[in-house]
Every structure is written in structure tokens, then in C-alpha cells.
Amino acid sequence: MTKIYFVRHGQAATGWGGAADPELAEIGHVQAQKVANEIATHLDGQTAKILTSPLLRCQDTAAPLAAKWGVEVIIEPRVRELPSPMSDLTARTDWLKRVMQGTWNELDNDHQSQGTDFPAWRTGIIQALHDQVSEPAVIIFSHFIAINVAYSEACKTEKVVGFQPDNCSVSIFETDGATLTCIETGRDAKTVVN
């Protein structure tokens, strides 16, 4: 079994309404350092492969742990943020708020989202987790909704938001390469999606 530490990125400098790919806010950098220490404690002197979403806020959050361990961060495009069918930031924010209240089936059938293959995005996330089965532990820095994809798979729920992972919270999953199990959800908080 592979243990996956699925980490939500630190607080971004702005939410979805402010920028498509924001860096971390000052507090996000502090959170990233704290979560690096937390994960190092979990692994008790061991190191692990570090994967991150391509977005800046995730790469910035992964950086302190990578520096602490002296390892390279691997960009894993499959654990990226929920793809948006629109580029207008205000419209995207309104769309995201609505999506977060619904189910995966409703998202798949959303008329505003025509042409976006959400099932393939979700399958990609789950496959990225299962593909780590040769490792004893893997750390993945990703996003609120992406972590909920793993939670939904493990807990067999259709809700887009099964829980609300706080910035830099660590959720722990296990995979045998075919089945995903949720061991522990990270801190649950009502934070902005950023």
C-alpha cells in the first residue's frame, strides 16, 4: 500500500476572481513552511517523492518541503485545478460557486461547461494517485476540488464538495493501485477557494 499525503496549497495572493494563476500570499508562504515541518514529522526522517500541480500556488507550497529534503519537485499535470470552461474571472467565480453546491453528475451535464471533459479530469487525478503504487509514500500538492475528487472516490460520494480542506491541510489516502482509501481528512475550514 502506498500512503498519499494530499496537501492543499497555501493561501493564494488572490482568489479565482482576481487571477487565473496567483502566487502565494505572505501567509501562504508561512503555511507552506509549517506544512513542510508537519509532513517531515509524519514521515519521521524519511523522504518521499513530491508531486505538484502545475499552478504557482502549489509549486510555491511544495518548495519548502523539497528544500528541506533536498529533492526535486515533479510537476504532475493530472492533479491540476478543476478546469474552467470560461476565461472571464468574474463569470468563472460565479460558475465555481454553483458547481461546488452540486454533484459530479450535475457538473458533467452543466450546459455552461459544454466541451469540458470533467470525467476525464477526475479519472486523471485518481489514476495519478494509483500510479504511485511503487512508492511507500508520496506527497502531492494540489487544490481544494482535486482533493475532493480523491475523497469522493474513496468515500463513494457524488457531492463535488465532500469536505472543505483548509489551506495547507493534509489529507491522507492509501492506494493499492486499484482502490483508494481515505485514512484521514485534513483540517476542515470554510476558506475561499483560491
Which residues are CB-contacts of 157 (< 8 A; sequence separation ≥ 6)? 151
Mind telling me the catalytic residues?
Answer: 9, 81
